[in-house]
A and B are shown apart, each in its own frame.
Chain A
Amino acid sequence: MHLLRNKDSRWIIIWITAIIIAGLWDLANLNRPALIKVVAGFRNTLIIALLVVAFTLLFGWLLTLLFNYLGMRSNRTCYYIATFFLNLIRSIPQIVGILFAYVGVTLLIQNDIVTSRIVLFLIMSFCMSLFIVPEVADLMRERIEHFKRLDFYSAMRVCGIPERRIINFDILWKNSRLHILNKLIAVLGYAVFLQCSVDFIISVGLSTDVNETSLPATLGGLLATIDSKQDILAVGYTLTHPDYIGHLFFEHLQGMTVAFLIVFSLFCIYNIANGYAERHRL
């Protein structure tokens, strides 16, 4: 009951419960090959999204330290160059950037440079995190700037406390980890959304030259398969033929489950992030 009192915990429980219920329903009603595909798609989507979160945190932190170091130097040329490249990444719409990065990924696959599935997951996550990392880096830099404007930073520096300890321990860990975690929850949402969108686009139209089995199955890719598309069309059909609604939960389960997992997961992540921010008054 204590967990249910907080909006974020409540939505985590709702998310997990809904996924379990959908899984049990599919186990009972969805044919085995489709079930395996859905489970693999969800698993792969989640693994890649979590890897994106981890890479984004790591790169965001490294970028923050780099900018802090360059910003302190009297010669600011390197700082301006780094800022230019970060702004360049920022200026590219995330979805377009990731699509182009995937072109590189498919080339690596086609040329048999990458054959391991784990390496492929890492590369896909890396590419995606490149275009999300400014969000986390900006947050960390803003937090550092905020504390530098206060006496907080100067008071510690004049005591001889090293810069790295103030930045990493006092500012980022002690005073910003809640903000950073909240941002990472949002990044998980971005990652799921971007991955599903890009995989859907690739699977629908851009991958005619690429064997679709060469990329790991994800929810976005599954949604683009002909079975799922028919299932989604069936939802539209139900709008004009309400009697058909019962069929959706037995005969169109693959598309329905995939669509549900994408939309409901995003909705839950959104509520978790909001609830977390409200609970900690961020």
Chain B
Amino acid sequence: MTKTDENPMRILFILNRVTNVPVVTGYFVLLLAAVIVLVASATVVAIQPPPVEEFVPIGELPEEDRLPAAPFLVSAYSLVWIFAFGYFWMLSRRLSVVERELNDLAKRAGLDSETESKG
């Protein structure tokens, strides 16, 4: 794991020093993600309604079987915004971490060259 990847995890290491709570590793996060995906999949399968035997246009369905479409449409639109915002937030966070690290290295290089020239 590179130094840039470790930076967001630093808080966990500090927490570990204070409370002795074990540090969450990348593998643990991966395992947790896998468990969440499995549980979510099992839930989706459990709430799945029985399949319809033949095609029936929505207009011909009885009123009690019809789902209001508007909330689904609004949800789809919201999901696009959420995914896009989420991705840009994640990207800008990662970019700022790398740029900070780049600045640190540049400063270090400046300091090194200063000491070399003084020496």
Q: Is the pairing of A and B real? A: no
